[in-house]
Every structure is written in structure tokens, then in C-alpha cells.
Amino acid sequence: MAGKRRHPAHRAIIYGGVLGGMSNDRINELLHEVNERALPKSSYDSIRKHYVPYFEKDMRRLGAAIENPPTWSALKHAGEHAIPSDVAPADDPADDE
């Protein structure tokens, strides 16, 4: 279930960190430094699996996602494979608690 929406600066840490190969622990250290809640391991794994390929296809998507994260339906529409069917279409794994 999605939690409170994150600020774009926090999404930048999360998406940039995951895309840059940082560990979930390191991303959580950075989030802690800016008084933001931790990113659950399941959300980290989901971003790695579904969002990184989405960003790699067109890096402009990363900047757009920081401002307004793509929904699961947007990822599915963009042709990403293996999108979970048990999540709400508007959920963003960066918002998970």
C-alpha cells in the first residue's frame, strides 16, 4: 500500500540512488540525513526491477519521474514487462511504507 507522497528531492535520492547502483542501506542513510522515512527493501527491489529499465530507455523519464512519478499503468503502457498485477495503477513504490 502506498504511503504519504514523497517530496521530489526525496524521489531524486531514491531514483538516482537505485539507478546509480547504491544499496538500499545507503539510500536509507541518505534519506535519514534529510529526515525522510526509509525505503522498504521490497520497494527498492521493485524500483530496480521495473523503473530502472523504464529510465534506461529514455533518461528524460528520470527527471519527469522525480517531479511526477509514473504509475504502474504508465509503466505498463510504456511496454514494461512483468508489472505487478496486485498493486493499484496509481501507486509508486517510492511512496511505500
Determine the pLDDT at residue 26. 98
Closest CA to 42 of 90, 16, 3: 3
Query: What is the distance between the alpha carbons of residues 42 and 24, in angstroms, rounded to a whole number?
Result: 10
1-25 CB burial, b ≥16 within 10 A, e <16: eeeeebeeebbbbbbebbbeebebe
pTM: 0.76
Closest CA to 14 of 49, 39, 40, 41: 39
pLDDT in tens, 19-74: 999 999 999 999 999 999 999 999 999 899 888 888 888 889 899 999 988 877 77
